């Protein structure tokens, strides 16, 4: 009996040791504080915080002032709270044309909008050369996939399909039905350039997207006569790498180019659906002269970054990143897109968690690992602030234990019938059914990080929903954890779900569920504290 009691005592002791320590300051995370902050950040005076506006810059200064006042250490270059980087936008010049010669037939001379248009990230210049079909134009070594395997494209122009193989296959190695990063048009230009191509043309993957759409309308929308309110941007560091002209052509023009092969565009496109990539195919007799004049414009942008340094001499060089984004969709003459949930909610949660860490530090309780608090900019323009960080990380990515991303943590997921393309692939559901729920995105990429969130939630009591990592909604790639997952860093996006006010003028601070937002913020804080204390780091199961 005595031995039995001893065994029970040992087991109970082990269980107690395994139980998590309540993160210091967790109870001090208060909805009242976040509500006050959010009514400022998402108020009408901030006019939706659109990138490259005075209000967006003011939001960055406000976050910086909060970081500075609470005593976070500046994490940016030069002892600054800002991490600068450049965006790039573009305008179309006058000298743009596409000339095609096929065998002995007369030349075809195309003007912009007439079966072709240059792409925004295109380099300027004139190139000429024979045409080679290169499947989807993807090189992905981590998937053992290469559409250029063994090929030499020096002096040639590549013709590639849009999108990726198996895009409707949930079991596709290219992130299932989520659009994968290697399939982006800009990355395809870099792949072709690396193989020696002097230019690249893109055409619709018509076997997956029948009908091809209205090409003339697409060309007009791509290069509108009047500049749009919300401009297109890419990362300056990416655009600087593209040194070849790039253009989109219509399926009709592609069919003309393929005459020498005796195959239709659909037949050739289907042949590119392979497991490891398709060998490039020369298009007999097809010669191309492509002139692109695309003027690039550089816009300075910045993230806001502060940190609390880890206390462990060995682990302080490793970092846990807690993040959210501060930009939104701006305003026009008639309406303001306040962006209270998207992502004012994440930013005020970030500030509240930072406050909890600093209060704990003043009481002598510091994390073992360093914790970086990052307010990204330009998320709505393509996650560009987070991508910029991965280009020039403040801590080596291999020393980054995990990324905990908060984006839309203040409402209940609600999908109405007929919600439209914004809700594609999401089941119809009511807000009431999700009153205590928070979604996790990225859960399938790291079993150990998922387990850490589940462990942290034991003292919080939220319903954790894990269902959208492989969904045509593309939710997995629609927030700032995505660049880190693609660079080998475990990441989780805490997300209370889309709702009818998403990206409308009705996403206002008075509609936030502050009780729930408090619980989600406490969950992120507890998860981060656990990650910053333990010896082991989460493992990424797959990129």
pLDDT in tens, 288-309: 999 999 999 999 999 999 999 9
pLDDT in tens, 69-114: 999 999 999 999 999 999 999 999 999 999 999 876 667 889 899 8
The mean pLDDT of the chain is 94
- Residue 18 pLDDT exceeds 70: no
Residues 147-162 have pLDDT tens digits of 999 899 999 999 999 9
420 vs 319, higher pLDDT: 319
| Domain boundaries 61-85+299-533, corresponding CATH code | 3.40.630.10
Report pLDDT for 140: 97
For 330-342, what is each residue's pLDDT tens digit?
A: 999 999 999 999 9
Position 105 scores a pLDDT of 67
Q: What is the pLDDT of residue 413?
A: 98
Look up residue 488 and give its DSSP letter: T
| Mean predicted confidence (pLDDT) in 263-287 | 94
Name the pLDDT band for 419 (thresholds 50, 70, 90). Answer: confident
Using a pLDDT cut of 90, give the percent of the chain over it. Answer: 90
Instruction: State how beta strands 400-406 and 491-495 pair.
Output: parallel
Q: Give residue 260's pLDDT.
A: 85
Phi, psi of 237 (to 5 degrees): -60, -35
How much is the average pLDDT of 26-35? 98
Q: From CA 322, how far away is CA 338, in angstroms rounded?
A: 23
At 480 the pLDDT is: 98
Whether 211 has a pLDDT exceeding 60, the answer reads yes
Closest by CA to 124, choosing from 277, 239, 265, is 239
Provide the 8-state DSSP code for 23: P
* Residue pLDDT, tens place only, 378-408: 999 999 999 999 999 999 999 999 999 999 9
Helix locations, 19-110, DSSP H: 31-41, 54-70
Residue 418's pLDDT band, with cuts at 50, 70 and 90, is confident
The predicted pLDDT at position 106 comes to 62
CB 336 within 8 A of CB 412: no
pTM summary value? 0.95
SS3 131: strand
259 has pLDDT over 90:
no
Taking residues 173-194, report their average pLDDT: 97
CA 458 – CA 430 distance, rounded (Å): 25
Examine the pLDDT at 7 and tell me if it is beyond 60: no
What's residue 212's pLDDT?
62
- Domain ranges for the chain, please list them: 61-85+299-533, 94-292
With tokens 């007929």, the residue in question is 418
Q: Which residue has the higher pLDDT, 85 or 21?
A: 85
Contact 257, 131 (CB under 8 A): yes
Model confidence at 15, pLDDT cuts 50, 70, 90, reads very low
280 has a pLDDT exceeding 50:
yes
Closest CA to 354 of 98, 25, 76: 25
User: Backbone phi, then psi, for 402, in 5-degree steps?
Assistant: -170, 160
User: Mind listing the pLDDT tens digit for each residue in 228-254?
Assistant: 999 999 999 999 999 999 999 999 999
Query: What is the assigned CATH class of domain 94-292?
Result: alpha beta
pLDDT of the residue at 6: 38
Query: Of 331 and 259, which is predicted with more confidence?
Result: 331
Mean pLDDT of 509-525: 98
The answer, yes or no, to whether residue 506 has pLDDT greater than 50, is yes
Pairing between strand 97-102 and 125-133? unpaired
Which pLDDT band holds residue 5 (cuts at 50, 70, 90)?
Answer: very low
Given a cut of 70, is residue 174 above it in pLDDT?
yes
pLDDT(429) > 70: yes
């Amino acid at each position: 009996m005595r031995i039995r009691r001893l065994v029970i005592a040992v087991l109970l002791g082990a269980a107690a040791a395994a139980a998590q320590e309540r993160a210091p300051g967790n109870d001090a995370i208060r909805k009242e504080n976040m509500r006050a902050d959010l009514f400022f950040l998402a108020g009408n005076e901030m006019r939706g915080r659109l990138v490259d506006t005075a209000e967006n810059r003011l939001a960055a200064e406000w976050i910086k002032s909060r970081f500075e006042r609470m005593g976070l250490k500046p994490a940016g270059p030069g002892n600054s709270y800002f991490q600068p980087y450049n965006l790039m936008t573009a305008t179309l010049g006058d000298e743009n044309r596409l000339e095609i010669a096929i065998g002995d037939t007369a030349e075809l001379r195309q003007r912009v909008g007439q079966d072709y248009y240059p792409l925004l990230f295109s380099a300027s210049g004139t190139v000429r050369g024979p045409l080679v079909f290169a499947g989807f134009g993807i090189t992905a070594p981590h998937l053992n996939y290469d559409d250029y395997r063994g090929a030499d494209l020096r002096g040639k122009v590549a013709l590639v399909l849009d999108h990726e193989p198996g895009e409707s296959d949930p079991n596709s190695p290219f992130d299932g039905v989520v659009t994968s990063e290697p399939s982006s048009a800009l990355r395809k230009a870099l792949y072709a350039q690396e193989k020696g191509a002097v230019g690249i043309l893109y055409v619709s993957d018509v076997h997956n997207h029948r009908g091809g759409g209205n090409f003339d309308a697409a060309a007009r929308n791509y290069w509108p006569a009047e500049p749009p309110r919300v401009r297109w941007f890419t990362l300056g560091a990416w655009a600087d790498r593209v040194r070849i002209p790039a253009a989109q052509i219509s399926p009709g023009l592609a069919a003309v180019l393929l005459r020498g092969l005796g195959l239709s565009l659909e037949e050739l496109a289907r042949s590119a659906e392979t497991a490891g990539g398709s060998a490039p195919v020369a298009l007999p007799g097809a010669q191309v002269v492509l002139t692109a004049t695309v003027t690039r414009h550089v816009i300075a942008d910045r993230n806001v970054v502060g940190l609390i340094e880890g206390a462990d001499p060995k682990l302080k060089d490793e970092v846990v990143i807690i993040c959210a984004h501060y930009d939104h969709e701006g305003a026009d003459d008639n309406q303001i897109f306040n962006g209270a949930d998207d992502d004012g909610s994440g930013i005020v949660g970030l500030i509240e968690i930072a406050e909890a860490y600093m209060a704990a530090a003043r009481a002598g309780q510091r994390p073992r690992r360093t914790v970086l608090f990052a307010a990204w900019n330009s998320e709505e323009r393509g996650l560009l602030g987070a991508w910029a960080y991965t280009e020039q990380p403040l801590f080596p990515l291999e020393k980054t234990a995990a990324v905990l991303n908060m984006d839309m943590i203040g409402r209940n997921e609600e999908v109405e019938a007929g919600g439209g393309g914004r809700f594609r692939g999401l089941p119809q559901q009511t807000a009431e059914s999700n009153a205590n729920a928070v979604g996790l995105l990225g859960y399938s990429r790291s079993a150990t990080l998922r387990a850490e969130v589940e462990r942290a939630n034991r003292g919080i009591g939220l319903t954790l929903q894990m269902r959208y990592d492989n969904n045509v909604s593309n939710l997995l790639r629609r927030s700032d954890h995505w660049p880190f997952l693609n660079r080998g860093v475990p990441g989780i996006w805490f997300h209370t779900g889309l709702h009818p006010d998403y990206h409308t003028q009705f996403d206002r601070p008075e509609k936030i569920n502050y009780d729930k937002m408090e619980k989600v913020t406490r969950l992120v804080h507890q998860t981060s504290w656990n990650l910053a204390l333990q010896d082991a780091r989460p493992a990424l199961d797959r990129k």
